[in-house]
Amino acid sequence: MEASVTIQTRSGSYVVTAGTGIRKQVIKYLPKSYESIYIVSDQTVADLYLEDIKKQFASNQVDSYVVPSGEASKSIDQYYELITDALEKGLNRHSLVIALGGGVVGDLVGFFASTFMRGIDFVQMPTTILAHDSSVGGKVGINHALGKNLIGSFYPPVAVIYDVETLKSLPLREVRSGYAEVVKHGFLEGESFFRDVIRADLTKPLDERTLTKHLLQGIQVKAAVVERDERESYHRMFLNFGHTLGHALESELGYGTWTHGEAVAIGMLFALKVSQRTFRVDLPYEAYYEWIKTNGYPTVLPPLKAESLINKMKKDKKTKNKQIQMVLLKAVGHPVIQQMEEEFLYNQLKDFLGELVD
Ligand SMILES: NC(=O)c1ccc[n+]([C@@H]2O[C@H](COP(=O)([O-])OP(=O)(O)OC[C@H]3O[C@@H](n4cnc5c(N)ncnc54)[C@H](O)[C@@H]3O)[C@@H](O)[C@H]2O)c1
Ligand SMILES: O=C(O)C(=O)C[C@@H](O)[C@H](O)[C@H](O)COP(=O)(O)O
Ligand SMILES: [Zn+2]
């Protein structure tokens, strides 16, 4: 199986190829040849797949660097260490950087590539379900103690090489986490995709055809938005559905305590509730809540202060005129950007946290 989607934006175009076993033919998907190759991965992924990629290049042409697995690697310290290592190894503007891993590696390495010598080419080689989202669209960056992804840039890769075979080694927690972004794409696209996604039973081994179909549908939803509004002047904000609270939770709980997908899953539940109360519409809140519970997403929160979360939400990049903006739904497939009145939002959040606390 192999399928490709071309992403065409004002800043250029690149091809996303998804297929089984394609990590073993990297050179086939590169847009040109390079003086040297620098592969960056995390420890877990490197142990599993780094050698498969490395051995495709001459030994005097390829170098690699391995970062610790997990969200904590999206840090300014890790970024600086990467720059130092690359300088020591003699990387230059004729080199190619390969980000082999999930969203953490993709975001960190993409940001490194965007700033190293004012920018060198990089390729995304996603290895998680979640990275069907993170590897496409060119958002790269790292975290700050005050908020998620607050340091970053828009820097598209020159290619995305997505070997879906690597997803077989993902632990259940990461399958769940990745599916949160798949269901997000369903909420944004419409009833049919959404209903199809929440039919998935993540606790059982995933049917490869269904998984690949969901990933490609998700990539297409994302590609269409990115092509329309790469730099997020308006429509791209829709891709932030569930993220205003989700990012605040990640930061407030401590990066890596909850996965990105777990936090976004709860963020979407909250966004559905707020949407229903704001627009007096009937959304599939119960069906979605049931799906996340049955599939083992965390639905019980440790005690958290609504006030602290609201302060984190104010640091969100969508904030305008000091007012929090959330992505809400008028219907499945009909997202809107809504300026939130602070007292209303605070009360909604307080109620919501009360319902989810142990
Ligand atoms: N740039 C974007 O558009 C965008 C979009 C969505 C999410 N993100 C970011 O992505 C990050 C989350 O990405 P993630 O969920 O992929 O996390 P991740 O990169 O930390 O990977 C999750 C875990 O799975 C392990 N892993 C990765 N691939 C594996 C494989 N094939 N087999 C076994 N283990 C494997 C990793 O070592 C890690 O421990 C967050 O920082 C989030 O903010 C960015
Ligand atoms: O690509 C986008 O745009 C998204 O919002 C996708 C999100 O899933 C992703 O988590 C992204 O990193 C969030 O972007 P941010 O600008 O809010 O940090
Ligand atoms: Zn996300």
What is the per-residue DSSP string for 203-258?
A: TSPPPHHHHHHHHHHHHHHHHHHHHH-TT-SSGGGGGGTTHHHHHHHHHHH-TTSS
Domains and CATH numbers, the chain: 2-168 (3.40.50.1970), 172-356 (1.20.1090.10)
Q: Ligand 2 center to residue 128 CA distance, Å? A: 16
**Tell me, what's the pLDDT at 1?**
86
**Tell me, what's the pLDDT at 201?**
97
Chain centroid to Cα 43, Å, comes to: 19
pLDDT tens per residue, range 232-261: 999 999 999 999 999 999 999 999 999 999
**Tell me, what's the pLDDT at 289?**
98
**CB-count exposure of residue 56 (10 Å: 0-12, 13-18, 19+):** middle
Nearest alpha carbon to residue 136 among 153, 121, 164, 156: 156
User: Does residue 224 register a pLDDT over 90?
Assistant: yes
Percent of the chain's residues with pLDDT above 70: 100
Confidence class for position 11, pLDDT limits 50, 70, 90: confident
pLDDT tens per residue, range 264-283: 999 999 999 999 999 999 99
248 to each of 48, 107, 140, how far by Cα in Å?
32, 18, 18
Q: Ligand 1 center to residue 330 CA distance, Å? A: 30
User: Does residue 207 register a pLDDT over 80?
Assistant: yes
Q: Ligand 1 center to residue 179 CA distance, Å? A: 12
Tell me the whole-structure pTM to 2 decimals. Answer: 0.98
* Ligand found nearest the CA of 107: 1
- Pull the structure tokens for residue 246: 């989700």
Of ligand 2's listed atoms, the one at least distance from the Cα of 148 is 18
Question: What is the predicted ipTM?
Answer: 0.99
- State the CB neighbour count (10 A cutoff) for residue 350: 14
Average pLDDT over residues 120-147: 97
Confidence class for position 189, pLDDT limits 50, 70, 90: very high
